[in-house]
């Protein structure tokens, strides 16, 4: 009976050890899985916001260069940039649009810079490190050199 009991105890100890190995393997696989899920979340949030920020900068520059009046050009550009962000379902309150230029005359360069903060507070493992990720896009165009009639 004693041998039988010690054999049972050995099998139970063996099963417990095997269970520890399985839980260790589970732990080893969970870390890469958690990292992969986090990266998917980052890609799903950040990548879709990058292109609309660039589009907003482009729209800002395109609308700013259509007039010879610097005040109207800057206002048109900034408004177009904000409208583009809103049209792409991004919060315009998280954006800053800046129009910079030298002399406002035909052929001069106008640069529109859009800065946007992407909220990543809902992504696990990232929310502890970052609350938002800054993004910036700039587009430079020349004021219409050949437009014959300006309004």
pLDDT in tens, 99-122: 999 888 888 899 999 999 887 777
Other C-beta atoms closer than 10 Å to the C-beta of 38 total: 15
Tell me whether residue 43 is in a domain.
yes
Tell me the average pLDDT across 136-148: 83
* 151 within some domain: no
Residue 150 lies in a domain: no
Residue 18 is assigned to a structural domain of this protein:
yes
User: Is position 130 within any domain?
Assistant: yes
Residue 149 domain flag: no
User: Within 10 Å of residue 57's Cβ, how many Cβ atoms?
Assistant: 26
Task: Report yes or no on 49 lying in a domain.
Answer: yes
Report if residue 148 sits inside a domain.
no
- Mean pLDDT lowest for which of 68-72, 76-80, 118-122, 137-141? 118-122
Domains: count for the chain = 1
- Convert the pLDDT of each residue in 18-36 to its tens digit: 555 566 677 777 788 888 8
Domain span at residue 37 reads: 2-142
């Amino acid at each position: 009976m004693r041998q039988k009991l010690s054999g049972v105890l050995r099998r139970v100890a063996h099963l417990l050890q095997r269970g520890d190995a399985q839980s260790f393997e589970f732990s080893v696989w969970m870390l890469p899985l958690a990292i992969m899920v986090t990266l998917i979340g980052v890609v799903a949030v950040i990548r879709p916001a990058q292109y609309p920020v660039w589009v907003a900068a482009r729209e800002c520059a395109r609308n700013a260069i259509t007039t010879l009046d610097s005040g109207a050009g800057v206002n048109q550009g900034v408004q177009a940039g904000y409208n583009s962000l809103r049209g792409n379902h991004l919060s315009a309150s998280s954006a800053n649009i800046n129009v910079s230029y030298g002399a406002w005359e035909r052929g001069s360069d106008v640069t529109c810079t859009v800065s946007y903060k992407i909220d990543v507070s809902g992504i696990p493992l990232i929310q502890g490190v970052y609350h938002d990720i800054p993004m910036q896009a700039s587009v430079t165009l020349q004021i219409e050199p050949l437009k014959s009639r300006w309004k």
